[in-house]
Amino acid sequence: MRRRLAVLLTTVLLGLAGALLPATGAWAAPADKAQVLSRWTQTSAASYNEWLAADQNQSAWSSYGFDWSTDYCSTSPDNPFGFPFKTACARHDFGYRNYKAAGTFDANKARLDNMLYADLERVCAGYSGATKSSCDATAWTYYHAVDIFGFAPAGVTG
């Protein structure tokens, strides 16, 4: 009798635990995913630096399910005229891909494009004279290209 009671009690307790505990295998992004994404896609140098640190340690952010894929500056040169725009383009791709996945791309596109321009201008700030003017003009061209043509649907290069 004691054994039957123990088996019955164990069965009930295990069933109750299974009903009360969250299902394993069900994946959910952390509740602050949208806030982290927003923090990493602002026009400020602080936002850029925080994103860059995360990009260099992507595994620490794996539970967020971010899309880190990039084609850098798409069909434009990553380092036009020797100006290192590659990382700015990667951050822009990050913003485009993740806001598209979240279904909030349209509401964030203008800021993402402005973020790209701010990042490119930080690159240009390292130059002077005619070289800086050339860099600024190239940055402006890249900005306008994404401003005008950067509406590719989700899953397409951004």
Per residue in 33-70, pLDDT (tens digit) is 999 999 999 999 999 999 999 999 999 999 999 999 99
For residues 134 and 81, the answer to whether their CB atoms sit within 8 Å is yes
> Residue 89, Cβ neighbours under 10 Å: how many?
24
22, 32, 33, 124 from 28: Cα distances, Å: 11, 11, 10, 40
Instruction: Dump pLDDT digits (tens) for 79-92.
Output: 999 999 999 999 99
The number of distinct structural domains making up the chain is: 1
Task: Supply the CATH number for residue 80's domain.
Answer: 1.20.90.10
Just list the catalytic residues.
92
- Domain hosting residue 145, numbered range: 31-149
